[in-house]
Amino acid sequence: MGYEAIQKAYTSKDVYGYQEVWVITSSGYTEQARDVKLWDRDVLIEQMANVNAAQTISVKEPEQADENATAPLPTTRTQDDDLFVCARCGKPVTNKIKDFCLSNPRRFSGRIYCYDHQRLKN
């Protein structure tokens, strides 16, 4: 992570009155990266793995702008409409992969893993 990115984050801390500034990278950091909370790839993966991957990412429905406009047709949302992601890397997974992981709770501890990370759980 280069000096310029850290400098921008550090400067924005004072300019906007933030208590903390985070810079997350998939590479390493330089010496100038001191007064910033630093997450590299490993920390990010660890933090993402701590999130229960079986929880879904909620999508807000758009609000009706005009009361006189026609109401949208009621829809039934199913769990199949939700997006599931790998607990290790955050990559979206298919329903088939999700079902496989959830049907093997001893192996995956109730978490969902992409195909590549399923093999690492052996």
Does the global pTM surpass 0.75?
Answer: no
By the 8 A CB rule, do 98 and 92 touch?
Answer: no
Q: Is residue 77 very low, low, confident or very high in pLDDT (cuts 50, 70, 90)? A: very low
The pLDDT of residue 55 is 55
Residue spans per domain, the chain: 1-39, 53-58+79-122
Interval 25-45: pLDDT, tens: 777 766 666 566 777 778 777
